Structures are given as C-alpha cells and as structure tokens.
Structure 1
Amino acid sequence: MAKIDPRTEIKEFLSSRRARITPERAGLPAYGGNRRVEGLRREEVALLAGVSVDYYVRLERGSLTGASDGVLDALAAALQLDEAERDHLFHLARQPRAPGGPRAVTVRPALQQVLDAITDAPAWICNGRYDVLAVNHLARALYSPVLAGPRRPANTARFVYLDPGAAKAFFVDYDRIACDVAAKLRMEAGRDPHDEELIALVGELSARSELFRQRWASQDVRLHRSGRKRLHHPVVGRLDLDVESMEMPAEPGLLMNIYTAPAGTATADGLALLASWAAGLGHPRLGRRQGQSGSP
C-alpha cells in the first residue's frame, strides 16, 4: 500500500454505511420489489440528511472538504452512525492536508516511572498503530507471547494477524480482537492518512493476511474503550481482565492501558501468580534493537 487516498476512503466508507441500511430501518417506504442497490439509494440518504441529491453525490465521491459540522451531523444521523463512525466521518472531512511530524516510538522516562510505580497491575503504553512502547514488569510478563519476537517496537496487530496460531492461543476472543484491531487501525488512518509507518503497517498486513484484507475492507471503525479482555497465559492460565484504556493529553496519540481484576477472583489470584513468575524474568526494558530505526 503506497498511500491511503482520502477520497477513496470517504467514498468507500459512505457507500458501505449506506449499503447496510434498509428503507424500513430508515423509516422510508420501499417502493418497488426489485431495488438495484443494496441498502439506501443516494437520493434517499440526501432526503434523510436534508441536502440535495447532487450535493450528496459529490460528498460520496470523496469531496467532504468544506462540509459544515451541521451537514456532517445530518449525514451521520441519516446513515445511523455510531459514535466511532461519526468521529471517523469528521476525521475524514477534516484530514490534514500535509504530513505532520514523525510519530513517537519511545516514551519519556517520567512515563516509564509511572508505569513502574504501578506494581499490582499490568500497565503499558502504545500508540494508535499498536506499537508496544513501554511496559511495567507485570505487563512484560502478561504480554510475553506478544513480546517474544526480536522486532522492536513489538506490535500487537502484527502478532494478531501474522502469528495467528500464537494469537489464537493467547486471546480467548480472537475473532473479536482481530475485528477490533483492524477497526482501530482504520480509525487511526482516518485521523492521519499521511502517517507513513501506519501506511507501511497496513500494507504489510494486507500483503500477508487474507483475514486482515477482509477486516480492512469492511470499513468498520472502533474507538479505544475500556472493557473486558480474556487471555490464556502460557504460564498462569486463563485471566479475565478489566481494561482501562486512557488517552494521554500531554502525549497525543499515546494510550495507557491498565489491566485489573476484582479481589478474591481467580483472575486476581492469577495476577499474583504472574507477579511471582515476573519477579524471576529479569527481562530488559523495551527498546529498539541496536541499529534499528524505530519503524514498526
């Protein structure tokens, strides 16, 4: 993948969202028994959004530049977009015209100190490309299958799609994880289509994984949210973890993830066992291999 073309992204996203909504779901009469399009027609979306058909056609052809917030909100309502999809629509309409600076592949020492101060829960920092940039001792132990390879920064998306055997053994809900990873990468591409390392990652995954090509083509998007992650650790077994994923305002594009479990549960006992195992690992901190440029 040489680049992410914004106009193509807009066209495919809007047409895919339009295709999934039936007239009945939109509250419109379905005239005729043989509709030639799947989902709504363009003129039906225009009617629901309160814009002219010609204007909507221009929007769906990739010309979102200049569309007002009111028009985008109306379009989101007409297409019944969820929160992530609405955000993605606005990202597509407000994309930067030129590439920004390179994304960080390291974290400040003070942030590593914060991670190290969290002693009872796995905690780690990643970017929107799923590069694992910093971990505490428990996260290093928990994510040992993801971190097993020599490539740095380790990348969860590569692990999920390019090492599916290990990933399926580690992630109990592998299918959901695979969907979420592709959808969050798609969301990241909407934020910054000029991110060269993201473009390279998507190209690599597309070339090497049929499953990723399918998930990427779905045009689905997801927000990074708190929730539940079920893992099968090779040493301590099944862990059902509560995940808090927090954006870092002082470090745009970075996320801190903390995994916990209620006291008295089997998973809490598993984390205690994991801590004992981690104490004997003695692994070095994450970082670039000698001579590595920092590309994922």
Structure 2
Amino acid sequence: MDHHDDLGEFLASRRAKLTPQDAGLPDFGGRRRVPGLRREEVAMLAGMSPEYYRRLERGNATGVSDAVLDGVSRALQLDEAEHAHLYALVRAANVARTTGPKQSSRKHQVSAALRQTIDAMWTVPVFVQNGRLDAVATNGLGRALFSEMLDGVEEPANAARFMFLDHRAQEFYRDWEGNARQIVATLRAEAGRSPYDRTLSNLVGELSTRSDYFRKLWGSHDVREHRTGLKSIHHPIVGPLDLSFQSMDLTADRGLVMVVFTAEPGSPSHTGLQLLANLAASDTAIASTVRERPT
C-alpha cells in the first residue's frame, strides 16, 4: 500500500462528496470541473493556505499539527470513524517517509479464559474476529450460525473472502450489497490502523484481483466502525433470521473483537435461533469446544 497515495485519495474522496451548499458556501453557478468542493474552498473552511492543503492532498503530511488535521476534519465534515482514519493515514505517511515501511503480520490467538467464556455463552451465537475479519474463534451456536462461511474452507475463514468470492454469500446475506459495503469500509479502517500488515495487504490484493465489485468499493475510500446493528441472514437450515449484534473490543486479547448476536424474544427469529441451538447441541461436531483458528 502506498500510504501517501492513500492519504491524498482519501481527502479527495471526502472533498468530492460535499457541495458548496453542504459546506454553507455560496454557489455562483457555472460548471465545476470536478465534483464536490475545490481544494481552495476546503483550505478556506479549514483556516489554512491553499498551498498547504494541496500539499496535504498530495500526501505530504510533514509537520502537520493536530490543530490543522482537526480543521481539515471539520471542513470535510468527517464523522468519528473518518476522523480517526485521517489521523491513522497521516501517521502511516510520516512513518513511511522517515523510517520506511516495517512489514508485519499480526497473529492472533484467543486466551484460555476467553475460550471458556464464549463457550459458556451457549444461548447466543458468539463470533471472535481480528481486524482483517478472520474468524479466530466461535462458540457452538456461532459456528452453526455461520456454517456457510466456516465449514469446508481453508483456515482461517475470512468474512471478506466469503462475501466477495463465495456465491453462497449472496443468498446467505439478505442485504448482500449493504453488508459488502460494510465489510470493505471496515477493512479500509483496519488498513489505516495497521498499514504494514502484510496479510491484510495480500487479502486486499487478492480481493481486488478477483472481484470487480470489491475493487470498486475499495476505491471509494469509505471507512466505518461496525459496533452495533441488525444482521439479516437466510440460514440454510432454519431460514430467515433478523439478529441484533453488539461488537466489543477485547482488552485482554488486543486486536480482537467479540461479536454477540441476539434475537428479539418471541419473534420468529428467536424461534429459529432456538431451533438452531437445539440442532447444534445435538451435533457433537459443532458443540464440542470453541475452535481456535490460527491466523
């Protein structure tokens, strides 16, 4: 990944999303050569010189202060995830300039205590993943819920690889396009946080080569945090399920996120989830122990 290009392309993509009206600027009409705000308009809104902003959009973040970045963030109306991503890209660009890239590939394992904890949560599906969206561990019900993604694939199973390269994903996710956009935005945020993760770079390269739609979404530079929401799926055994989810960072297992799924009591999804739990409990291959997956 070229971190100078990532910084410039991210800023340009956010600028292209804003109109003068969005930014509270007068629009004097006339044809604009590019969509969105001009660089000079962003610079004015951020309280900096046009040349300084142009330098930043060219990927040169040398000596840029937090105050400047905050001004740019306000001018481009960045949300919390985009604001954090901007800071991450600036750090990566400066590290690449001063010390050069230091390739790494973080490996994640769950602790014995975490394995015991999620195994004890047998009434709800639990899914533990790393920033690359590798499946690191599940409990029995979590494995049953995501059997389409987990079974019969080379470990570690990866949610992005399943989404874009496995034809079953389009039936499994009832809002496939929305989930696809979410996954790419999540990977974009992780790429900013972990700019020298070699395994992540290889994953992005693979998906970009094999999926035109992934490549298109990756080029949009959208970023998002995926903390809570509704997951609508079509399970091959129990049918449609609408599940709420909560994502929690694991402080004792840094870099890992635990996702817990629940269904509204008394709903058809709750009935379906209970049926799946019964089926999982009767299948010793599914309900044995939490499965740790090497990354």
TM-score, normalisation: structure 1: 0.92
1:39 pairs, out of 36, 40, 49, with 36
Is 2:81 aligned against 1:78? no
Q: Distance in 2 between matches of 1:255 and 1:147?
A: 17
- Counterpart in 2 of 1:30? 27
Q: Distance in 2 between matches of 1:123 and 1:100?
A: 31
Q: Distance in 1 between matches of 2:199 and 2:269?
A: 36
- Counterpart in 2 of 1:223? 225
Q: Distance in 2 between matches of 1:236 and 1:65?
A: 55
Q: Distance in 2 between matches of 1:109 and 1:287?
A: 10
SS at match of 2:149: coil
Aligned-residue offset at 1:66:
2.7
The worse-fitting range, judged by mean Cα deviation, of 148-157 and 60-69 is: 60-69
Q: Distance in 2 between matches of 1:176 and 1:38?
A: 24
Contact 1:248/1:255 (8 A) holds in 2? yes
Aligned-residue offset at 1:100:
7.0
Is 2:283 aligned against 1:286? no
Aligned-residue offset at 1:73:
1.1
- Counterpart in 2 of 1:271? 273
Q: Distance in 2 between matches of 1:37 and 1:203?
A: 28
- Counterpart in 1 of 2:158? 155
Task: Give matches, 1:166-177, under 5 Å.
Answer: 166-177=168-179
- Counterpart in 1 of 2:125? 122
Letter in structure 2 aligned against 1:64: A
The worse-fitting range, judged by mean Cα deviation, of 261-270 and 234-243 is: 261-270
- Counterpart in 2 of 1:249? 251
- For residues 89-120 of structure 1, what are the alpha-carbon distances to aligned partners after superposition, in whole Å with 9 as ceiling and x for unaligned? 11112238353754123212211111101011
Q: Which runs of 5+ in 1 are unaligned?
A: 289-293
Contact 2:110/2:292 (8 A) holds in 1? no
Is 2:73 aligned against 1:68? no
Contact 1:182/1:216 (8 A) holds in 2? yes
Q: Distance in 2 between matches of 1:205 and 1:281?
A: 34
Q: Distance in 1 between matches of 2:242 and 2:188?
A: 27
SS at match of 1:23: coil
TM-score, normalisation: structure 2: 0.93
After TM superposition, where is structure 1 displaced by more than 4 Å over at least 4 residues in a row?
none
| Structure-2 change in CA distance of 1:31 and 1:143 (3 Å) | same
Q: Which runs of 5+ in 2 are unaligned?
A: 96-100
- Counterpart in 1 of 2:98? none
Q: Distance in 2 between matches of 1:100 and 1:201?
A: 15
The worse-fitting range, judged by mean Cα deviation, of 31-40 and 116-125 is: 31-40
Letter in structure 2 aligned against 1:203: G
SS at match of 1:24: coil
- Counterpart in 2 of 1:291? none
Contact 1:153/1:286 (8 A) holds in 2? no
- Counterpart in 1 of 2:7? 10
The worse-fitting range, judged by mean Cα deviation, of 75-84 and 63-72 is: 63-72
- For residues 143-170 of structure 1, what are the alpha-carbon distances to aligned partners after superposition, in whole Å with 9 as ceiling and x for unaligned? 000112331011111000001x200111
The worse-fitting range, judged by mean Cα deviation, of 249-258 and 154-163 is: 249-258
Is 2:102 aligned against 1:99? yes
The percentage of aligned residue pairs carrying the same residue is 50
| Structure-2 change in CA distance of 1:101 and 1:113 (3 Å) | farther
